[in-house]
Amino acid sequence: MAAQSSGKADSQDQSSSSDKSSDSNKKDNSDATTVRLKIEVTDPNDRPVGNASVYVRFNQTGGPLHKDKLAELNLKTNDDGSVKVPEIPQGKIMIQVVAKGWHTFGKWYDINKSEDTIQIKLQNPPHWY
């Protein structure tokens, strides 16, 4: 009987390993519709702007009544002026950058790649009289 129970365990191990391989195939398919972004923020002289707030907005499916809802990530740039965005869905993406002493930046991007680097050059603030 011990041989029979080990045979069952072997068949369970095989089935669980096949389940794992099918799970990894599903992950590969979902990666095709996501993007990994790196955003680099610089000033007009191409010097990095550290500690800038970066807001990334994108459509997320499955909202109320199966409508897309706008999701938002709030990130900060490193001292080298860059920030890595976690995987988000491809498509129309709004990127806004707010940094003290610089003009606020905001623009919609249409991203259709699995990886992309977006370079943003901040402008001097407008002069108020």
Per DSSP, the residues of 68-90 read: -EEEEEEEE--TTSEEEEEEEES
pLDDT band at 128 (very low <50, low <70, confident <90, very high): confident
**Residue 20 reports pLDDT greater than 70:** no
Tell me the fold of 34-121: Immunoglobulin-like (2.60.40)
Whole-model pTM: value is: 0.70
**Domain ranges (residues) in the chain:** 1-31, 34-121
pLDDT at 34 over 80: yes
- Residue at token pair 């459509």: 59
| E-state strands within 29-124 | 34-42, 53-60, 69-76, 82-89, 91-98, 105-111, 115-121
Mean pLDDT within 105-125: 95
Q: Are strands 34-42 and 115-121 parallel, antiparallel or unpaired?
A: parallel
For 56, phi and psi rounded to 5 degrees?
-115, 120
Q: Strand pairing of 53-60 and 105-111? A: unpaired
- Nearest CA to 106 out of 116, 91, 118, 89 is that of 118
Q: Report pLDDT digits (tens) over 47-80.
A: 999 999 999 999 887 766 666 788 999 999 999 9
